[in-house]
Amino acid sequence: MLRLKHVWKTYPRAQGEVRALADVSLEAHPGELVAVRGKSGCGKTTLLLTAGGLLRPDKGNVVIDGKDCYGLTAGERARLRANAVGFVFQRFHLVAYLTVLENVLLGGIAAPQRSGKSAAAVRRADELLERLQLKDCRYQLSTELSTGERQRTALARALFNRPRLLLADEPTGNLDEENPLTVLAHLREHAEGGGTVVLATHDEKAAGLVGRVIEMRDGRLAAAYAI
CATH of domain 2-95+155-226: 3.40.50.300
pLDDT in the model for residue 179: 63
Q: Would you give the end-to-end CA distance of the chain in angstroms?
A: 20
Which of 39-53, 113-127, 129-143 shows the lowest mean pLDDT across its residues? 113-127
Q: What distances in angstroms separate CA 173 from CA 17, 89, 200, 207, one per listed residue?
A: 29, 11, 10, 12
Span 133-138, average pLDDT: 92
Residues 6+ apart with CB under 8 A from 130: none
Each domain of the chain, given as residue ranges in start order, spans 2-95+155-226
What pTM did the predictor assign?
Answer: 0.88
Closest by CA position to 9, among listed 19, 17, 1: 19
pLDDT at 124 over 50: yes
Spatial CA neighbour of 6 closest among 220, 197, 223: 220
CA atoms of 175 and 166, how far apart (whole Å): 19
